[in-house]
């Protein structure tokens, strides 16, 4: 069968050879039984997981050693697309030889990375990343069944996207590993924000603890600082002259704030500075470009600017929009 018969056009090129191989030749597809478990001196664990967004489902089989809690064998069955099969097959393989606790640390990013042909090229198109999310989630369900505990005790508490069950750690990792610069890219890699969209920015139908615009701004700022750790930890801000304070503010804006906003077509200018005798300073800023009128600029972006200035200069700084 020709490649074009399987996936139209250039989309085929977005899948790694490892993914294509495991789509067609999964190593661990099948079932494990109680007889297998007795023969291997272990306990049989069976867990089911599904993705409501696409209808894919997977059943995971483990045989866990009675003496050491090591996963001696793993197998799966799947109703879903080829990417789901490839991801789950790789996930099952990664579980073998690990203890139950070690297996629960396997993330969807670990699965996707294991399927890459080269370190710097993603194994699947962004819209198919949710398949590896499902593969990692079924591990937690299997561990919960093995431990006889509620799966909630094993899940990440910091869920960013309820619709796709995407965690804060997953979003942060996706930004860092793939050098993401837009919310749209985050959605493509993780499915966060793809459905009800309440997690993208403030103003959706449901209030959220975390918003993608804020996470992106924070992580990009952290990445910028990691690339330039010698960015000055400036002397006591409260003792500076007004001119030096403005220079210090501009330095942080240039190094850690403006590059983040520019990636989404926005910008910010320092409009005014007023400091009282107690050292408290009000920094007035003016938004430019896409930041003007953006719902996130009132809360998320403003909070990001203020937190960055407070971290780098002084906790007495308050930022307002001019």
Side-chain half-sphere CA neighbours of 93 within 13 A: 16
Catalytic, out of 54, 81, 163, 196: 54
Residue 199 a catalytic site member: no
Q: What is the C-alpha separation between 288 and 197, in angstroms, rounded?
A: 25
Catalytic, out of 81, 95, 131, 294: 131
Residue 275 a catalytic site member: no
Residues annotated catalytic, as ranges: 54, 131
């Amino acid at each position: 069968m020709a490649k074009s018969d399987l996936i139209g056009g250039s989309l085929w090129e977005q899948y790694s050879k490892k993914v294509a191989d495991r789509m067609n030749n999964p190593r661990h597809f099948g079932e494990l039984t109680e007889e297998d478990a007795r023969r291997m001196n272990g306990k049989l664990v069976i867990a089911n997981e599904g993705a409501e967004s696409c209808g894919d489902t997977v059943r995971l089989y483990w045989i866990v050693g009675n003496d050491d809690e090591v996963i001696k064998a793993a197998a799966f069955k799947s109703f879903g697309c080829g990417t789901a099969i490839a991801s789950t097959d790789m996930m099952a393989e990664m579980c073998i030889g690990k203890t139950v606790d070690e297996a629960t640390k396997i993330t969807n990013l670990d699965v996707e990375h294991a399927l890459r042909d080269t370190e710097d090229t993603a194994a699947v198109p962004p819209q198919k990343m949710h398949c590896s999310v499902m593969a990692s989630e079924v591990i937690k369900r299997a561990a919960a069944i093995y431990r006889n505990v509620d799966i909630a005790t094993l899940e990440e508490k910091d869920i960013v996207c309820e619709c796709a069950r995407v965690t804060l750690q997953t979003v942060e990792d996706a930004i860092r590993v793939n050098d993401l610069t837009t919310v749209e890219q985050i959605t493509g890699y993780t499915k966060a924000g793809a459905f009800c969209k309440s997690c993208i920015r403030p103003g959706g139908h449901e209030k959220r603890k975390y918003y993608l615009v804020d996470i992106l701004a924070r992580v990009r700022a952290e990445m910028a600082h990691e690339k330039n750790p010698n960015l000055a930890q400036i002397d006591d801000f409260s003792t500076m002259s007004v001119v030096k304070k403005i220079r210090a503010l501009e330095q942080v804006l240039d190094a850690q704030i403006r590059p983040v906003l520019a990636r989404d077509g926005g910008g910010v200018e320092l409009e005014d500075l007023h400091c009282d005798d107690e050292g408290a300073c009000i920094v007035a800023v003016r938004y430019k470009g896409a930041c003007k009128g953006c719902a996130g600029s009132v809360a998320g972006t403003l909070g990001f600017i203020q937190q960055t200035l407070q971290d780098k200069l002084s906790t007495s700084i308050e930022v307002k929009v001019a």
